[in-house]
Structure 1
Amino acid sequence: MTVSSFLQTAAKASLVLVFFAFPVSVALANVGLLFTLLFWLLGCVWGTSWRDTRAALSNPVAVPALALFAWIALAALWSPAEGSQIGAALQKYTKFLLLPLFIGLLNDASTRRRCWQGFALAMLLTLVVTWLNVWFDFSWTRTHNQGFGEDHTVFKDYISQGLLMSLFTIMALHHAMNARTRRVRVLAAVIAGLSTFSVLFLSSGRTGYLALLVALLVYAVFAFGRQWRKLLTSIAAVVLLAAATILTSTQLQSRMQQAWQEAQASSIHVPVTSTGSRVEMSRFVLQSSLEKPLQGHGTASYPSLAKGHFTGFGWCAVVCVHPHNQFAFFLFEQGVIGLLLFLWFMAAIARQAWREEVPQRALMLAFLAIMAAANLSHSSFWLSTENHFFILMTALLMAAARPRQPA
């Protein structure tokens, strides 16, 4: 084995480790990323790393990702934040810059397959422990609640677990519909059912409820296309699932009722609540964005400016970190330009999905639905686990992109 091939293999193996690690431990995932970058840099000297990355720049999502990161970096010039805060914010978005590198490393089907397997193994472990936690307590899990109707988060917070498990459910459903053998189809269908129940009944994350149901609906619509009978049956199944969940899940009913009450009572003059804080953050972001609509207030400006607005007791600890909406976050800090670049990034994934065969198209658009749902209620590209999730899965899906057909 030559030095070049060894470095390339080592970089890809490290990236496979990252796909297994990030659902379980961000620290371990970051170690994997460091080794990936190290072997990639060494490969630029002794191997073909740069050639593969340069080829990845032609991928439809590469330019939007690089343009978004460049604008985020440029927006630091007019930010009122301190240098350390700006540096920390730039670090959060660095994976947009690294996306072509990841796509370059995922240029062969065998590496992509191992990455899918690594992610699936981590999520299968999470699913098993989630179900076991209904009856058994584990000292190392996030929650320690036994019984149905309780939150059973394993490694991450319930929002992250709900989002990751939603994609895992779609993956299992995808295999159930496209597997060649009956045994694999049945096994995948059982896993899809268990993971669906996990999100809807063993978690308290409202973002996960929304992401899963929307993703299931999108997948059904694009998986069956003009097969009207199957299409209508699948849509009806998703609607019935949503209705059954609302009617039978006491946890969901409680969370929805709580959200409605908190939204009605929202005010910065009352104690902070989950939904109330989101309402007030949205008001603050929209009002403040009108002051600098085009370029925004600058990278890392939100925490600094939010402190001057949310002065009530307990509010700033919840709302002064990020606005719990990535679209609003980009609008506030990077203005309309930043928001449009982010929408361009998402549109590039959607456009590529239309070029794919029906099964892959449905999978990609369901993933995009999860991304949209997550970023409407959370700042997913600012938070570590969700940042890893959306960037790495974007790279994995887009690395397999079919080339554009000549006109």
Structure 2
Amino acid sequence: MFSYSVVAEKSLLTCRYLAIIAAIAAPASTAVTSAACIAMLLTWLMSGQVWQSLKISAGQPTGKILLLFFAWLIISSLYADTDWTDKINTLSSWKKLFYTFVLLGLFYPTQWKARFVYSYLAAMSLAAVISVPLWLLDIQVMEGREIGIFMTNHSSQSLAFVVAALCCIFLLKESLSQQKKCLLVGMMVLFLFNIFFISPSRSGYLALPVAAVFAIANLYGYKKLPHILGIMATALLLVVLTSSTLQQRIKVGWEEKTNYQTSEEVTSIGIRVIFAQNTWELIQQKPLLGYGTSSFKSVYSSYAAAKYQDWRGDPASDPHNQYLFVWLENGLIGLLIFLAYIYTAIRQGATQQPYGAMGASVLVAIAAVSLFNSNFKTFPEGHLLAFFVGCLLAQQSANNTEKDSA
């Protein structure tokens, strides 16, 4: 016999599974992630839990700050000197944070957080196993990608394994059997090998140490921070001395930074320096309110074109620095709200062991590398972050309960 309550229950169950699928697919497949996100929203609407879940999301500190940030993005779009197509496209690029807001009201049951983490670890372990023989056998999966890289790009693959390694750090502190802990250690070794020896991603080299220090300090206490920093520095030195891939990437980065003023072609580090210089000069002209949501491309491109006659004057839609991007478009007010979101989410997550703290550690990792990329808005990293923060930080107030038979 047909019953809407049965449909609603199954829809909610499906919605949560689709969120897990989207998170796993984020570093590797744009198509699968997009389809999973659309299906997730549809099943969420069919679940009959929309209003209740939104209230739960809005009742959390992170949810409140997200609402404030959404509001300021919309207000900022009103004074941007761009057409409405650009405004809508830029607002849409922040939809990852909307997913975070939705998931904050859906993933509060602990068993779903556990399913999320263990499913992700299983998938990433398989991915890490696959990448090693590809690297050893010098197999290039696709033209333009480095040896051993088969996800969207080397940065997304590296950060996917960084997130997996952070999960392992927290799970090792849990009451698990010796066999499971040995398995986790083996998985972590695989992830670390991929991050530091296979992938040429400098984002991974930065993200893991920074987030690992936060994670370990969160687990063992900040009074032990000096010891943690000492151990981490020693481990990093050992990795630098043994990884030719890491050594080469550091060398190339240093040369690009040193020679960017005389270079005749675009380099990864050189263009970031130019972006930072020009963006900061523009920010100084309108520091408080900025130029408005969607304004970066038009404002920056015209400024750079008038200033340079070579590659430095090429148009750009992003400065490869999330904080400078927010400041230029949304002003100091928008930047402070954005920083408040990061702080609030980290603080909310740090109090929830182990899953909330995992989500907070992932946010620390992405926040660190966002000094050199706009990872909150890029597709692979932005979706991965959105789902980890939304799913693992979710919590429910005592007066809000739901029968969860799944």
TM over 0.5: yes
From 281, 303, 315, the counterpart of 1:309: 303
Whether the 8 Å CA contact 1:86–1:299 is kept in 2: the answer is yes
Aligned residue identity for 2:10:
F
3-state secondary structure, aligned to 2:61: coil
3-state secondary structure, aligned to 1:341: helix
**C-alpha distance in 1, partners of 2:67/2:155?**
27
Whether the 8 Å CA contact 1:302–1:322 is kept in 2: the answer is yes
What is the aligned residue count?
392
The yes-or-no answer on 1:338 pairing with 2:334 is yes
Whether the 8 Å CA contact 1:268–1:280 is kept in 2: the answer is no
From 164, 187, 198, the counterpart of 2:194: 198
Which residue of structure 1 lines up, in the alignment, with residue 401 of structure 2? none
Aligned residue identity for 1:135:
L
User: Which residues in structure 2 correspond to 1:98-247 (within 5 Å)?
Assistant: 98-136=99-137, 140-141=141-142, 152-225=148-221, 228=224, 234-247=228-241
**C-alpha distance in 2, partners of 1:344/1:140?**
41
Whether the 8 Å CA contact 2:145–2:154 is kept in 1: the answer is no
User: Which residues in structure 2 correspond to 1:50-89 (within 5 Å)?
Assistant: 50-89=51-90
Which residue of structure 2 lines up, in the alignment, with residue 297 of structure 1? 291
Unaligned runs of 5+ in 2: 399-406
Which residue of structure 1 lines up, in the alignment, with residue 43 of structure 2? 39
Distance 1:145 1:52, change over 3 A: closer
From 307, 319, 323, the counterpart of 1:323: 319
From 26, 32, 43, the counterpart of 1:28: 32
Higher relative contact order (CA 8 A, sep 6+): 2
**C-alpha distance in 2, partners of 1:322/1:258?**
23
Whether the 8 Å CA contact 1:163–1:374 is kept in 2: the answer is no
**C-alpha distance in 2, partners of 1:374/1:247?**
23
**C-alpha distance in 2, partners of 1:141/1:113?**
34
Which residue of structure 2 lines up, in the alignment, with residue 149 of structure 1? none
**C-alpha distance in 2, partners of 1:242/1:102?**
35
Task: Report the TM-score, using the length of structure 1 for normalisation.
Answer: 0.88
Q: Percent identity at matched positions?
A: 24
The yes-or-no answer on 1:4 pairing with 2:5 is no
CA RMSD of aligned residues (A): 2.6
Report the Cα offset of residue 4 of structure 1.
2.2
Aligned residue identity for 1:130:
S
How big is each residue's C-alpha offset from its partner over 1:195-232, in whole Å with a ceiling of 9 and x where there is no partner? 1121011111111100011122222222221785xx66
Which residue of structure 2 lines up, in the alignment, with residue 372 of structure 1? 367
Task: Report the TM-score, using the length of structure 2 for normalisation.
Answer: 0.88
Unaligned runs of 5+ in 1: 147-151
Distance 1:19 1:81, change over 3 A: same
Report the Cα offset of residue 14 of structure 1.
2.2
3-state secondary structure, aligned to 2:275: helix
3-state secondary structure, aligned to 2:370: helix
Whether the 8 Å CA contact 2:25–2:33 is kept in 1: the answer is yes
Distance 1:263 1:232, change over 3 A: closer
